[in-house]
Structure 1
Amino acid sequence: MSADVHALATTLEAAVRDRRAIPKLTDGADLDIASAYAVQREVIERRTRSGERLAGVKMGFTSRAKMIQMGVDDVIWGLLTDAMLAEGSVDVSGLIHPRIEPEIVYLIGREVRSVAEVESCVAGVAVGYEVLDSRYEDFKFTLPDVIADNASAARFGFGAWHAPRDLSNAGLLMEIDGRPVQTGSSAAILGDPARSLRAAARLALGAGTPLEPGWIVLAGAATAAVPLPAGAHVRITGAGLASVEVTT
């Protein structure tokens, strides 16, 4: 059957509220990419109507390997709200099956009116993290499913801001309870996270949502995401960007 945007948004809302994994939406709906983004936007608009504020965008499938795995040739994106910002701690008991990954984060200093100018609009860069929490059973989904689910966005955080700089090959280390669990380079993000930043501007402008001053862009994962357990201390360090920490 065809996609009922409002009904599918309600299904995803209920999964978040009840902390309950659900079957893929595509198991019962004819969900294409355009409809999936419509579901995503409906969910976010409900959140903003309830008082949350848009805080930026997140990029997904910024790894070439992930693109090949999913059979796509472009990145996807989702929207962030202020309620997703984790200031030092994340209550994982409120999530279904959380995972965490290291990120390069951009701070937008002025409205982005074109893709060509987006890099000149960056006011700062930081090392950060994203907590993913797919609402689907077994963390398995198709491309339309993950888009509708706001690209699995759940929580995010970042460290101190630094002056904009070349981040095409910045080393990143993620530790949990003092033990290294992932190491990588920002080059894993489309070869250079600046490419992901430009893609964020392209997709946002195309959707009529220009990047605004004060918003952030999560450029994408530099390593694979790992499960985030309760009672953990996570530190993510970026070369030249210091570190950010979060507890659960």
Structure 2
Amino acid sequence: MKHGLDAVPAPESKLIITQSPFDAFVRKYGTIPRRGVFGYFVHELGRRIVGGRYPVGTTLPNEPDLVEQFGISRTVIREAMKCLAGKGLVEIKTRVGTRVKERSNWHHLDTDVMVWYYETGPSVEIMRSIKDLRLALEPEATARAAARCTDEDIAAIRSAYEEMVSTIGDINTNADADLRFHTAIFGATHNMIYSQLIDLIAVGIYANRTLSGHEDVAEGQKRALPFHKAILDAIAARDADAALLASRRLLDSWLVNYRDF
């Protein structure tokens, strides 16, 4: 799996800015912008932790060592550690240091954390977890959307689907329409928590077009259209059972690429 990480030095510091295919996604959907020394430092440390360079239980380098290594201020380091602590990755203890917490404490649905998994090469464990959660989550959300949707919800889902049809071959625009399709479905559940779980699908959709070849992505998008149409038709008919089945069939078509997980 290719990640295409390229490194360039950050101006006026020793911090190496790692440019990634996910930069555009993080700018749009991430919680910590990739700009300035603080943003790049948070993402660099996050990748190192999630990727295993700093394993669970490891005490991170102390402030003087990080100042020397990256050429950045103690203030930036302290704020970055607080940010990572807020994502559940580390715990900060006075006179002990900053330690990497057990993975069970990490906020895996945090957009930045999910992106770091993909950037560093997602493990079998995380891919199995994502696969399992999507199987449990999406069909039920689709069924609820069919049962609760308004005419406006159906119009939004239909509009996104029509854009998917019209943009086959343009993998980026098509993927954006695909995300709007699923976002509209989750919104149609009229459940505010469901609506916030769309990030799980958003990262997966973006990862697919980023980590796979153009032709493979384009063919996959074309192949998925009938499954999306079946979902749209079921929701428009307000048929929850049909919507649930259509969603499962879409996931089965997507998960064929992940049988090893």
Shorter-chain TM band: under 0.3
**Structure possessing the higher relative contact order (Cα contacts under 8 Å, 6 or more residues apart):** 1
Q: TM-score when scaled to structure 2?
A: 0.21
Structure that is richer in strand per residue: 1
Q: TM-score when scaled to structure 1?
A: 0.22
